[in-house]
A and B are shown apart, each in its own frame.
Chain A
Amino acid sequence: MDHTVVLRNVSKIYRQNSLAVTALTDINLDIPKKDFACLSGPSGSGKSTLLNLIGGLDKPSTGEITVDGQRVDQLSKSELAQLRLRRIGFVFQAYNLIPVLTARENIEFVMQLQGVPATERSDKAMEIIKEVGLDGLENRRPGELSGGQQQRVAVARAIVSEPSLVLADEPTANLDSKTAQALMELLVHMNTEHNVTFIFSTHDKLVMDFSRRLIKLHDGRIVEDVRRE
């Protein structure tokens, strides 16, 4: 089976002065293409750390991480930037939109970094804006959008350039249940229609219910890995 993400014996230890805190211990994980997987577990179990390591936002203390065939743990800063730019989309709990750009410009941002021509960029952005139900709001800045709308912009930004993998860290944490439901339906749609692999970290039962695979973490170890079809 073709895998988007492969982790082998991954550990992460944070050191602060003489204190060492183990965030992840000996993680082995395979995420196949088009998977819709959810990392769950209590606070401090290592969900976000694992997502950050897969996304190359942080380096593992030991072990190997491969994303789309590339060894993330061995890449330089600029190679990591390229990997994130071309292969990985991020959705954050706090939306993390760029406040000085409009919704459309936020969505176009990654494509602009990729060097996509303006017309193509604009067409793709408008297409995805319609798909995520933000038609008519494209010229508003993040401050003029609701939390749900902002998260939709963030999702649109993450998938518009068609990455092979989207990492979503607590995507529904700041949303009401109705908006969260709509967002998850949107993500399932993206997964099935655009063949994007999704990995979530969440506490939210709703997200877990939508996921086809549930990976439970506890004290930095995988304690359960269940596939649901």
Chain B
Amino acid sequence: MRSERMTSLLWTLAWRNLWRHTRRTLMILFAFALGVWSMIVIAAITRGSMEQQLDKAILNLTGHIQIHVAGFRDDPVIEHQYTLSPAAETALSGKEVTAWARRVRAPGVIASERESAGITLVGIEPEQERGLSFIATAVTEGRYLDSPDDQGLLLGRKLAERLETGLGRRVVLMSQDANNKVGDRGFRVVGIFDTQPRQMEEAYVFIGRRTAQKMLKLDDTINEVAVMTGNRDRLEPLLVGLRAAAPAYDIEPWTVIEPLLVLTQKITDAILFIWYAIVFAAMSFGLINTLLMAVFERTREFGLFQSLGMPPRFILGQVLVESLILLALALALGNLAAWATIAPLMGGIDLTSVAEGMELIGVAPVIYPAWSINDLVAANLLVFVLGLTASLYPAWRASRHVPVEALTRI
């Protein structure tokens, strides 16, 4: 009961003392709120941009998990082929798998009447690719492939421009087949696709999976299975199941297949951390200064408290409670302002006017901010905990006065 009464006294004193200098309190409050706002808003935009890059990269034929035979990832040649075992197919029928498809991949050359270019030939199962990779939704001219036996070919717009060819025109694909001979075949361009980054338009050419197998003399073997799940961050149970079902295969998550993406994530986290540290450092100087001023001004008062019998720990507590109130208000204000800023931008921040520049640095022309609970908690916790820690020094100073010296301080 006594401690409850003391707590109530501390809160009363702290609250009223805060508003003794309204302008000063408001200034530090808004400075802190601005800092918190900038932490959350920049985190949301950066995280959103990074998530978009990640989602895009995963849709660019990576998927969440890939299955190959050992050695394919180091040397993606046609010899590294396999037939997916029934046990692996069963493991892929779990509810966590939202899409999966077999693919044939082979390095090759495409030639039009005028130009030729080195490409990666991808034989796909058109229906299975929906929700698994970008290609099902990227065809902007002509049509998508009908089936694995489709005789048509999908060409990226940039490559079509380079080859000086177009929809309905014929091109020739050449690649080493399973018998180590050059397999070639003429295709009619049935669809042109557009995608980001535009290098993808030059790098890949899509045909039906069975058509590719025939051209490359592969019977029914494939090079790759790509898998998409409901959550890219919870792949371990599925990976364990797949590896148990098909121990001979090389089954890896996107984090292993595309280590650059993981690095991007880590760099983003590091940038945000550095940003948080800079903002917090600036804010903490303000906080310490304000509290030190407040403590210095009230030296006599702290001496009085001691002479009236207030234990030093309660004086320390009073300054900390002042800081706590200030921090809580600033966090509430900062979070509210951040929400008010980000909420209207959730439909996307349109940067199409500088799209080419943004593409160069790997950022999509429309950025969708992303709230991350981790970022929100990190920003709030950092400001709150470190803010209180920074207040310890002024609070300690306040509690260490010798009463008689404090009382005679002018």
Contact = CB atoms under 8 A, between A and B. Distances in A.
Chain B binds chain A: yes
A105 B15 CA distance: 15
B141 to A, nearest CB: 74
Nearest to A158: B308
Interface residues of B, number: 26
A226 interface: no
A100 interface: yes
A113 B306 contact: no
Contacts of B402: 57-58
A96 B300 contact: yes
Contact of A109 (B16, B306, B308, B404): B308
A55 B307 contact: yes
A24 to B, nearest CB: 13
The contact size tier of chain A is 20 to 34
Interface stretch (A62-70, A77-85, A189-197, A203-211): A77-85
Contacts of A86: 309
A81 B407 contact: no
A92 B305 CA distance: 13
Interface string B374-410: 0000000000000000000000000000111001000
Interface in A89-118: 90, 92, 96, 98-101, 105, 109-110, 112-118
B1 A84 contact: no
Given A101-B16, A118-B5, A113 B308 contact: yes
Contacts of A25: none
A153 to B, nearest CB: 13
A82 B309 contact: yes
A57 B307 contact: yes
Most A CB contacts (10 A, CB to CB) among B2, B20, B307 go to B307
A43 to B, nearest CB: 14
Contact of A115 (B2, B17, B308, B311): B2
Contacts of A100: 13, 16-17, 20
Interface in B202-223: none
A175 to B, nearest CB: 19
A52 interface: yes
A90 B16 contact: no
Nearest to A112: B9
Contact of A112 (B6, B16, B20, B307): B6
B315 to A, nearest CB: 10
Given A57-B403, A58-B404, A92-B407, A115 B309 contact: no
A122 to B, nearest CB: 12
Contact of A84 (B5, B17, B301, B309): B309
Nearest to A87: B309
Nearest to A157: B308
A90 B308 contact: yes
Closest 10 CB pairs of A and B: A85-B309, A115-B2, A100-B16, A57-B404, A84-B309, A58-B404, A57-B403, A81-B311, A52-B404, A96-B304
Interface of A: 52, 55, 57-58, 77-78, 81-86, 90, 92, 96, 98-101, 105, 109-110, 112-118, 157
12 contacts: A57-B402, A57-B403, A58-B402, A77-B312, A81-B309, A82-B309, A90-B308, A92-B407, A109-B9, A112-B9, A115-B6, A118-B5
Given A100-B17, A109-B9, A113-B308, 13 more contacts: A57-B404, A78-B311, A85-B308, A85-B309, A85-B310, A86-B309, A101-B13, A105-B12, A112-B9, A113-B9, A115-B1, A117-B5, A157-B308
